[in-house]
Every structure is written in C-alpha cells, then in structure tokens.
Amino acid sequence: MISSAVAYLRPSLSDRLASLIQYCLWGCLIYYLYQSFHGRKAIPSFSNPYYTTITSEIGALRATLDRSLRHMDAMDTGILFLTGVAVLYWLMRIGESIVDVVVNAKWARLLPYVPVVREIVAKKTQEAEDDIRKSLLKCRTTRTTELPEAGWDADLILDRVGQWSELEKREWREGKASGAVYSGQDDLMDLIGEVYKRFSLSNPLHPDIFPFTRQMEAEVVSMVADLFNGDEQTCGCVTSGGTESIMMAMRAYREWGRAERGIITPQIIVPATAHPAFDKAAAYFKMRITKIPVNMPSGTIDLSRLIGAITPNTVAIVASCPSWPHGTLDPVQHIASIARTRRIPCHVDACLGSFVVACMESSGFDMPAFDFRVPGVTSLSCDTHKFGFAPKGTSVLLYRSPELRAYQYFTTVDWMGGMYASHSVAGSRPGGLIAATWAAMMYTGKQGYVAATKKVVNFTRELAAGIDKMPDLEVIGHGDTCVVAFRSTNPNLPTLPIGEAMGDRGWKLNLLQKPDAVHLAVTLPVANGGSRRFLDDLAEAVEQVKSDPKAYAKGTAAIYGSAKTVPKMLVESLVKKWLDVYYTA
C-alpha cells in the first residue's frame, strides 16, 4: 500500500525524495501502531488465549517502558526511537553476516591464510590449471601474438581458416554434440555467408546510411512477434543473444519498478532452473534474485513457494519455456496469472525453445499456451540464433507494449557529441548478422520451421521414452521439446561418469549438478543421426560404468565430483582460471 502510494507520486518526484516519503509513511504506520499499544488508539480485542497473553505481555512491557521513560520529553523519545531503529538495522546486518558465515560457508575465505591449506590449495589449483590448459589449448598448432609486418596473402588466410573451419565442423557434423549448432544445413550456411558478405560493413546505429538494415531488423522483430501470437501493440528489439535479451528485460523491469512503484531494492523471482543470464542481470543491475526450488524428478516449480517469495519489491517473475537443464516447460499460465493478479510483469524465457516451441502447435503437438495469448505474459525472449537457424549473435526480445519497451532504452541528451539513444548494451551493431538472420528466416519459412520442429521433438521424445525404459536410469524434467536430461536410479551407478563414458563414444553431452544428471540439447544435426545410436551407446556406457565406476570418474565428472567437497570460493577461483586460460594466444 505504502509502495503503491509512493509509486503514484513517483513520476513527479526525484528518487531520493520519493524514498524519503516512503520512509516517512512507514514511520507514521509504526507510530500509529505504537499509539495503539499505548492505549491512545483503540485496538481490537479477541478472546483467543495466545492473543490475550501477547497483549498482556505487551502491556507489561509498555508499563516498564513508561516507568523508565517517564522523565523523557518528545525530543528524547524521538532520538531513542531512531537509535532503536539503527540498532535493529545493525543487528539485522550482523544476523546476515552470521548466516553467511554459518550457512554460506564464508569462513572459507580465511582458509587460504592457513599455511597447510594454502599449500594444498596451490597444488590443486595448479593441477586444475594444467587440466584446463590441456583441454582448452589442445588444438593449438600455431601461435600469433603480434601483427605480421606485411599483410598476408588472401589465399594464405583462406587456406588457414579453411583448415580450421573443417576441423571445427568435425566436432558437430556427426550430430553428437549437445546444443551448439542448431541447423548446419550447407545450403543455408552458403546463403548466410553470401548475405553477410553484402552487409558486413553495415551498422544499424546509422539508419540513414543503412536503411535496409533497419528495415530487415524491424521485419525480424515483427515476424517473431507474429510467431508468438503478439498483436499490433507487441514490439521488441534484436539483441546479441539470449543473455542480452534477458538482461535487457530485467533492466527494463528494474526501471519499471522504480518509476511505477517506487521500488529501490528490486527483486526478481525465477525457478531454480532458470538460465544464469538472470543471475548475471541481477549482478550487473544490482537486483535481488530469489530462486524457487523445483521438484525432482519432474523438474516442476512449487507454485506455493513462488507465491510466498513475492514481496512489494518484486519487479518480475520468470518462467522458462523450456529450461536449459531439464527441458522443463514451466507452467506459464499459472505463473503469469499469479503475476497478473499482483500487477507484476512476467517474462517468458523461450530463448532455447525459440522457433521449436513457437511451432509446436502447427506441428501437431500438444502445447499449453505460453506466449502473448496468456494475459499476464508481458515479455518473451526468443533466440533467432538457436532454432531460428540464424548465425550466432542474434536474439529477439519482445514486449507486450511499447510503454514497457521504453523502460529498456538508454538515452542521453546532453552529451557534447550530440543526443544519443540506444536499445540495448551495444552501440554499433553488426548489420551483417541482422541481414543474415532475416535471410535465414525468409529462406526457412514456416514450413521449414515446422518440419524442423517435428524432427527435433519426435527425436527428443523417442530418446526420453527409450531412456525411461532402461532399468538403471530415469528422465528428469520433461524431455518433450528439445532437451533430454537423465540420471541414474541405481546407487551403484554414479551418474556423471556415464557422461564421460558417452564422451569416449564421441558424444559431447553436458553434465548437470544439484542433482547430478546428464543433458543433451537436441538440434537438427543430432536429430538427423536418429535416436537408435544414442540409445545403443548409452546402454553400453551404462554397463561399462557399472563394471568400473572409478575408471570414468575423470574429466568434467571428476571436477564436478571434487567441487562438492571444497568450499564454493575455491570452486569459483578455479572457474575464473578457466576464463584466464581462455585468452591464451
């Protein structure tokens, strides 16, 4: 109520003034309660014994306070009140620190100061770094760290790049890589290359110079809005990928919360399976993120916990369609309705599902409505660079109305270089990618996307059904769109080593944690390979791990295994090492 009152006044007030008013209103409420208990305002009475005990205790406390504060005037009382609030605040901060130390194991920060621990940590870190180097730099045959004195011949460059691209293709062409390459059709890749060539210099930051790039970008957004059943109000923008779409949506909701509700400490609520792009948004834009646990093995979110997590500071509730880890379709209709009744925005993350989830119905599959047909859905992200078959580097973020989209914009009108406005993080943007995205969509057409959806979804369901029939395994999540995740149900069969044993058969699967599971994101190259070879390889892999689990506790499975036994901070530092090594030329 107080926040809504402030939200009403907000557009005409500066942030600080608005928060001051908010605190004053809270102060008035507390004062009123204080007066009530002081007997100056009537308080309701009930015959409940607990209520009677509590009120008589409060009465006794009041009498004690009255006696002690008898000689104080209004000023003294005010100062005492403010001091009390400050003490309460610091006690809460201390409480949070205690929770951090005890529950979040922040004491681990001190561990590296213990000499023995320091040595062990240094040894383990070095071992991990060596492993990371081995795996990341495995193909490095040449090294260039300085510009060549004279430029290379084009033929030499094409020869070098040609070799590298052929080697890279081997990694996914066979259809054994989870995710990564979603189409891989030669004719489409040739077309994309040709179109990119023609627009490689264009930059939509200058629509006066590149008007057709602007037109293609607007058309990409409109076509995607149409796929997700938007109306004439639905609008959006093109970003560099799913992560940027999600971050921009969360930033828009942060600004919305501030402007419409006076929220200064915004909170977003996501299912625990939501993509880390939401954590990134929370970290970058200083928002609190609340994660709602999911039930296992269904991967479904507990709606009552979601309702319980909503606070006056909630600026967005998120549903994935589907989630990356387990392919779960969150119950968008329920989540959106919860959000709508509280007038909170609801974002649907269809980055991964993208054109597959959009085409489920037209492909003859049952699919609950999850897009703009659902009243409470206020925004949706869809990656054109996944099942839209566009080259890497584009995604579309849609909003129900231009008013919401405007909260995403960045503008500055007093820069010495002139007025500046941009939709998203990037300033200059690659017109070549936008043109190639437009071309990929026009070339594939509705029929092409429907055909691809049938292939991907049928393959996913065949695989999920096949895995569910295996005595030692169970599918977790839904496994009915484009992701299959599974785990062992046999206590003598560890899950993660199965992923390693599949790796020995050429499969590049992802290992999940909390709980341990193995994941395959199905793409066209994967589906084209047929489900039989995966299921046969999986059956063999399971037998092999069962016969010698230790032999497969290697690679990522070993890293995930040891990550469970060391403090989070050390795991984080190893992960950062990976990022360091990445930029080794």
Contact residues for ligand PLP, defined by CB under 6 A: 241-243, 246, 275, 277, 320, 323-324, 349, 351-352, 383, 395
List the strands of the sheet with 473-476, edge to edge: 473-476, 483-488, 517-521, 510-512
The 3-state DSSP class for residue 285 equals coil
CA separation for the pair 383, 388 (Å, rounded) = 7
111's tokens: 């561990």
CA separation for the pair 514, 103 (Å, rounded) = 17
CA separation for the pair 544, 229 (Å, rounded) = 48
CB 522 within 8 A of CB 483: yes
CB 323 within 8 A of CB 273: yes
CB 267 within 8 A of CB 287: yes
State in angstroms the smallest separation of the CB of 243 from ligand PLP. Answer: 3
With respect to ligand PLP, which residue has the nearer C-beta, 18 or 351?
351
CA separation for the pair 475, 488 (Å, rounded) = 9
With respect to ligand PLP, which residue has the nearer C-beta, 299 or 567?
299
Question: 567 — phi, psi (to 5°)?
Answer: -60, 150
State in angstroms the smallest separation of the CB of 271 from ligand PLP. Answer: 11
State in angstroms the smallest separation of the CB of 244 from ligand PLP. Answer: 7
With respect to ligand PLP, which residue has the nearer C-beta, 6 or 192?
192
Q: What is the DSSP string of 162-220?
A: HHHHHHHHHHHHTS-BSSS-S---HHHHHHHHHHHHHHTT--TT-TTT-HHHHHHHHHH
With respect to ligand PLP, which residue has the nearer C-beta, 263 or 526?
526
Q: Which amino acid is at 154?
A: A
CA separation for the pair 161, 177 (Å, rounded) = 22
CA separation for the pair 199, 433 (Å, rounded) = 8
State in angstroms the smallest separation of the CB of 328 from ligand PLP. Answer: 10
State in angstroms the smallest separation of the CB of 320 from ligand PLP. Answer: 5
State in angstroms the smallest separation of the CB of 128 from ligand PLP. Answer: 25
Query: What are residue 348's DSSP bridge partners?
Result: 319, 380
**Preceding amide of 322 cis, omega within 30:** yes
Using a 10 angstrom Cβ sphere, with 0-12 exposed, 13-18 middle and 19 or more buried, the burial of residue 229 is middle
The residues, ordered by sequence, that sit 6+ positions from 65 with a Cβ below 8 Å of its Cβ are none
Q: Whose structure tokens read 């689990």?
A: 549
With respect to ligand PLP, which residue has the nearer C-beta, 321 or 475?
321
State in angstroms the smallest separation of the CB of 430 from ligand PLP. Answer: 15
CA quadruple 107, 109, 113, 116: dihedral sign: positive
In the complex, residue closest to ligand PLP by CB: 242
State in angstroms the smallest separation of the CB of 485 from ligand PLP. Answer: 12
With respect to ligand PLP, which residue has the nearer C-beta, 3 or 394?
394
With respect to ligand PLP, which residue has the nearer C-beta, 192 or 318?
318
State in angstroms the smallest separation of the CB of 89 from ligand PLP. Answer: 37
With respect to ligand PLP, which residue has the nearer C-beta, 273 or 544?
273
State in angstroms the smallest separation of the CB of 8 from ligand PLP. Answer: 35
With respect to ligand PLP, which residue has the nearer C-beta, 314 or 320?
320
With respect to ligand PLP, which residue has the nearer C-beta, 121 or 390?
390
The 3-state DSSP class for residue 314 equals strand
Q: Which amino acid is at 142?
A: T
Q: What is the DSSP string of 483-506?
A: EEEEEE--TTS-SHHHHHHHHTTT
With respect to ligand PLP, which residue has the nearer C-beta, 128 or 390?
390
Phi-psi region of 389 (alpha: psi -120 to 50; beta: other; left: phi over 0): left
State in angstroms the smallest separation of the CB of 349 from ligand PLP. Answer: 5
State in angstroms the smallest separation of the CB of 275 from ligand PLP. Answer: 4
- For 412-425, the three-class secondary structure string (H helix, E strand, C coil) is ECCCCCCCEEECCC
Contacts 24+ apart (CB under 8 A), 13-16: 15/258, 15/264
